[in-house]
Structure 1
Amino acid sequence: MKRWWLIAITLGIVGVGAVLALRSPLGAIAQERLATVAFTPQERTTLVSLESALSRLVETVQPTVVHIKVTKRLPQRRLPGEDDMREFFRGFRIPDDELRQFFEFVPPRVIRGEGSGVIIRSDGYILTNDHVVSGADEVEVTFADGSKANGTVLRAPNMDIALVKVDRKNLPAAVLGDSSTVKPGQIVFAFGSPFGLEKTVTMGIVSAIGRREVISGADMPRFYPDLIQTDAAINGGNSGGPLVNTRGEVIGINTAIVSGLTGGNVGVGFAIPVNRVKGVIRQLIEKGSYVRGYLGVGLDDLTPEMKEELKVERGALVVQVERDSPADKAGIQAGDVIIEMDGKPIENQVALRDMIAEKGPNTEARFKIVRGGRTLTVSVKLTTHPEDVKAPPVRGKAEVGAQTALEKLGIRVGTIPEDMRRAFERQQGAFVTEIDRDSPAAEGGLQVGDLIIALNDKPINSPSEFEQAVNNLKSGQRVRLRVLRQVEDKVFETLVMFRMP
């Protein structure tokens, strides 16, 4: 009998608790959590279909996206006041060999960076931003399957584009789309490794096209005349990754963001349109560098009022002509409107600049121009863009092919100019004509205009002797140069020291 009473009491307590739970706010919340959205069968089918399509898109594109890690070694530096301290201790007749332990070069500092890239050819070509790999000593690529490979770099700094070449075959390659069809409002996906988080994909829309921006970077400010703006989240580490449309085609290369106080994404990201990249890729693969053609004009877009006044539908307005430039020699004038190049219509100034750049130097181009209501055709032989003539070697430190010893040091030498022979009162030596900024030689204090007369106590009588002596040096070996240097009207013999990279 007692057992039945206990069972009855227990059931009563449970029942009262259930009623109280249902009446309580917590009970109501629990009920709400169990509620489901009442989709119609058609709506549910649409959502499932959308999810499936997005997953298939990501599964298709993700294997073509890579994570790029770079290592940059800063040049070794001598300790401050090292020369004075050496001289001080030499006064006590302490041998240089014993002094070495106190005055060895400070170990090189290492900077590490990372970004993203997209495989564009199955034989190992990976597209990324130049600012991701600029100046890298080592480039490591991590693929979607977790495998790694070291890469070498081909650069186009003025376009902020670079290729990383890895020794791999049969890689999955992305499809390059047509960025001329991109319109605001279209859905896009940004792939990459933001903050080192590999295999990340975000979704958004194209916010705007044709953005012109000057964006500061770690190495230099860069001008981008034509960018796709998107609100798909792009953060540090996304640079070089692909911006993809709903067909899984690459329409842009994620490049930069406008960030808030936190430095993170605030919904304003930029990508270089892929059509601007295709010609660069072709030149880098075929020639190993990207050199632009040059016309020598300043251009502007036509306003609707200008089009109506000049009776043209499209084109680029010439606002400036450089004297003795290809344009000047061909008779192109400020005020002309260029409406065609090689038979292709010109939509705006950016399109014309890209066509001229891609045409390349030492080629002939035909331009159709409108001047004073008349249509003229002129032929122009393009030259090399001045920035490309003066640019340093574009392959960077992690370059394709072997560097010469002088290239590693960042030095170019020649014979002694006649006026400097008189100043130095010397006919022999290797005259320094150029030094790469941030090179080992520059960090060691070598200057343009120095005359190298000895290397590690071996006399140098000519540029060829110097090059041969440098070729015999080993990586990490200390280099001691005795140079003659003119300061105002005086000549000093100076010791320059650094290590062979």
Structure 2
Amino acid sequence: MIDNHSLPEEEPVSLAWQRFVEFLLGLLLLAGSLFMVHHYLPQPANNLNDQVHQLSQQLDQLRQEQSMPVTVLNRYRDSICFVFGVYQVGFPNQRPSLRARISGTGFVVTEGLLATNRHVAEPWYGDTEAEGLIRQGAKPELQRLVAFFPGFSTPVVVTPAALSVQGDLAILKVHDSQAVNRLRPLPLAEQPSDPGELVAVVGYPMGVLGMVAKSPAPVYERLAYRRDDIGAANELAALSLIRPSATCGHLGDVVGDKLIYDATTAHGASGGPVFNSRGQVIGVNAAYIDGFSGGTLGVSVSALRPLILAAQRKSMIKNASSKD
């Protein structure tokens, strides 16, 4: 009788090998589990808090940018004025060779002083026809320059206080103590803006025509075809319809003291403030390029500050001399 005596001897070897393999697989499984835990375990609470804080800041910034045009209009509308003027250029003892009207925008930068463009404060500046006559000996004369502020039923007289010799900037002096006390200066940005930043331009595009166009129907029907701009402006002021408009865009480039942005505008908005996303004035709207939607030009406030100081010094000297 033959018994398989070798089996009992082989069983312990097979069982040991099986257990070794199971141990090895278990070890590999444990290592894989530790690897997965290390890479996919939720991050520490402080990292999550940092991410939440960062996202909250980005959302707050987005909300601020989206509400910025409404904010600046509500906060600073009353300090942004419509400027209207009449000027002539002529030779002595002759009828004027040129007589024209000018409209633009201005805004309060400090007590009693407005910022605008030089071609608004001195309308023959940059006017090819007027400058040609002046070179021939003609004399320019600013016959009238007034500012219509929202909330005021009548215009206030303004006069040039300082003119830039290098760029299209000017400072106007307000000759109305009551108006000076009521007007709130706009905040000027301390830091330059970067291309890509959201901007808003506030002003009076198309001048009187633009304000009449957005007036109530009865007012529009009465004023739409009136050729007397100053008369229409006076009536709009009496009806509390001197209201600036805002357009938005992005800053495309900054070259020296020149700002280039795509916020659309038109004549009449020259001299208006250009706001950054924080509601600070970064420039003065100056011109636009026909046929190019991204070609609106402004002058940086860095060029405006020296002009404000010059106007303030001039006013102090004049006040001191008048007391002597």
Q: Do Structure 1 and Structure 2 share a fold, with TM-score over 0.5?
A: yes
**Equivalent of 1:56, from 71, 76, 83?**
71
Match in the other structure for 1:241:
272
User: Matches of 1:285 and 1:185 in 2, distance apart?
Assistant: 34
Q: TM-score, normalised by structure 1?
A: 0.37
Partner of 1:177: 189
Greater Rg over alpha carbons, structure: 2
Unpaired runs of 5+ residues, structure 1, are: 1-44, 79-104, 211-224, 290-400, 403-501
Correspondent of 1:152 among 152, 156, 159: 159
Q: CA deviation at 1:172?
A: 1.6
Instruction: Considering fraction of residues, name the structure with more strand.
Output: 1
Judged with a 3 Å threshold, the aligned counterparts in structure 2 of structure 1 residues 107 and 275 are, in CA distance, closer, same or farther, namely closer
Amino acid at match of 1:155: A
Structure 2 residue 286 is matched with structure 1 residue 279: no
* Structure 2: runs of 5 or more not aligned: 1-59, 123-140, 211-242
Q: Could you tell me how far 1:235 is from its partner in structure 2?
A: 1.7
Residue in 2 aligned with 1:162?
170
Matched, 1:136 2:163: no
| Change in 2 beyond 3 A, CA 1:179/1:272 | farther
The aligned amino acid for 1:281 is I
2:259 is the counterpart of 1:228: yes
* 1:230–1:179 CA distance, 2 compared to 1 (3 A): farther
For 1:117, the equivalent position in structure 2 comes to 106
Q: Aligned to 1:269, which of 278, 296, 306?
A: 296
Describe the shift of the 1:190–1:49 C-alpha distance in structure 2 as closer, same or farther (beyond 3 A).
closer
DSSP-derived class of the 1:228 partner: strand
Q: Distance in 2 between matches of 1:53 and 1:115?
A: 23
Q: 2:87 aligns with which of 72, 79, 85?
A: 72
| Kept after mapping to 1: 8 A contact 2:68/2:278 | no
Q: Which of 218, 233, 244 matches 1:199?
A: 244
| CA distance 1:241–1:50, shift in 2 (3 Å) | closer
- The Cα offsets for residues 192-220 of structure 1, whole Å up to 9 and x where unpaired, read as 1111035111000100111xxxxxxxxxx
Is residue 130–residue 155 contact of structure 1 (8 Å, CA) maintained in 2?
no
Question: What is the letter of the counterpart of residue 160 of structure 2?
Answer: V
- Aligned partner of residue 283 in structure 2, secondary structure: strand
Percent of paired sites with the same residue: 25
Q: Distance in 2 between matches of 1:186 and 1:66?
A: 25
What number of residue pairs does the alignment pair up? 201
Name the CA shift for 1:183/1:113 in 2 (closer, same or farther; >3 Å): same
SS at 2:289 equivalent: strand
Q: How far is 1:118 from its partner?
A: 0.8
| CA offset digits 1:52-80 (Å, max 9, x no partner) | 554223211222211101110333676xx
Change (3 A) 1:249 1:109: same
Q: Could you tell me whether the CA contact under 8 Å between 1:57 and 1:246 is conserved in 2?
A: no
**Aligned equivalents of 1:233 and 1:73: distance in 2?**
30
Could you tell me how far 1:275 is from its partner in structure 2?
A: 1.5
CA distance in 2 between counterparts of 1:149 and 1:59 reads: 22
Change (3 A) 1:69 1:179: farther
Secondary structure of residue in 1 paired with 2:263 = coil
RMSD of aligned alpha carbons: 3.0
Higher normalized helix content (fraction of residues):
2
Q: Deviation at 1:179?
A: 4.5
Please report how far the alpha carbon of residue 49 of structure 1 lies from its aligned counterpart in structure 2 after TM superposition. Answer: 8.0
One-letter amino acid matched to 1:187 = L
Give the superposition deviation at 1:136. Answer: 2.5
Q: Is the 8 A contact 2:64 2:278 kept in 1?
A: no
Q: Partner residue of 1:300?
A: none
Q: Tell me the alpha carbon deviations over residues 157-198 of structure 1, each in whole angstroms, 9 at most, x when there is no partner.
A: 313221111123221210111242x00110000011111035
Kindly report structure 1 stretches of 4+ aligned residues shifted beyond 6 Å: 45-50
Are 1:255 and 2:267 counterparts? no
In structure 2, C-alpha distance between the alignment counterparts of 1:286 and 1:273, rounded to whole Å: 21
Whose relative contact order is higher, 1 or 2, with alpha carbons under 8 Å and at least 6 apart? 2
Matches within 5 A, 1:20-419: 54-75=69-90, 106=95, 110-121=99-110, 123-134=111-122, 136-147=142-153, 148-158=155-165, 159-166=167-174, 167=176, 168-170=179-181, 171-180=183-192, 182-196=193-207, 197=210, 198-210=243-255, 226-260=257-291, 266-287=293-314
Is the 2:252–2:294 Cα contact (8 Å) retained in structure 1? Answer: no
CA distance in 1: counterparts of 2:261 and 2:157, whole angstroms: 32
The whole-number CA distance in structure 1 between the counterparts of 2:77 and 2:245 is 9
Q: Which amino acid aligns with 2:280?
A: E
One-letter identity of the residue aligned with 2:161: L
Whether contact under 8 Å (1:179, 1:252) holds in the other structure is no
Contact 2:164 2:307 in 1 (8 A): no
- Secondary structure of the residue aligned to 2:310 is helix
